[in-house]
Amino acid sequence: MQTVTLLTDPARPTLETALVESLRNAWGGGVARWLSPGEAAEFEVPAPPGHLREVWEELQRLVVDLAVQQAGDRRKKLLVADMDSTMIRQECIDELAEVAGVGAHVREITARAMNGELDFEGALNERVALLEGLDEAVIQEVLASRITPMPGGAALVATMRAAGAHTLLVSGGFTAFAGPVAEAIGFNEARANLLESVDGRLTGTVARPILGRDAKVRALEETAARLGITDSEVLAVGDGANDLGMLERAGLGVALHAKPAVQALCEVRVNHGDLTALLYLQGYARSEFTAAGR
């Protein structure tokens, strides 16, 4: 059996009972279970239809996300999450570049790198070089005034931790941001790159080794091994090309509001829901969210 999950934006909960029942009936599914009225529902089917891609595309036009997974216990024991444009709304390097006066140029490079058009490490070095001489104090200013959490992140982390899961923030960005973001959202730990500085000013370099696509996979593998769990018990979420390795390795890899090249390679895509969609995909009802997410 497989579980079909239908999701929409919790800020505009427009998932209609008629739509859920229509799909359930057409696919010979079991009784629909509402995880949150108007927002998320699921039902089991013997097998999804052969034209699943066409159904997914039609639902996207209705502002509804669709995911199909193996039925059974879907609750994961490890969350590995990207930071920029995943757990927070922004790309931290773009915000630093904006303050440094090179915002437009850096944003273009970031967009291409995240869509897999440029080598991640080379693109990171090129962008960081443009920050040479920037006062380190700007990092705290950017954190305070430009960085905002992605909706649903606190609920996701708190609910999974309450259920006994471990949570890891792993970023191709920088420790100066990842540490505070991880602490604010409630992650157990965080890994990221280190921006180098001398006498309070950025040198335009990043400490080696650079944490990129392969390092994210290693972080997943090392943490899972330390916890004594298998890849199938891991949930990974990200949006960029440097996340593809861990998304493919995890038992459940979710492309969240991801770049086109990433969506093309991922089976589970969330384009309309927020981070609480990852709880619904694990079978949590909103009534089971911790206080942080209700």
Which residues are designated catalytic?
A: 82, 84
Measure the CA–CA gap between 251 and 236, rounded to whole angstroms.
8
Output the CA–CA distances (angstroms, integers) from residue 104 to 94, 97, 137, 278, in the order listed.
8, 8, 22, 32
Supply 211's token pair. 């944490």
Is the CB of residue 279 less than 8 Å from the CB of residue 156? yes
- What angle is formed at CA 86 by the lines to CA 267 and CA 59, rounded to 5 degrees? 40
Report which DSSP code applies to 135: B
First to last CA, the chain: 31
Is the CB of residue 169 less than 8 Å from the CB of residue 83? yes
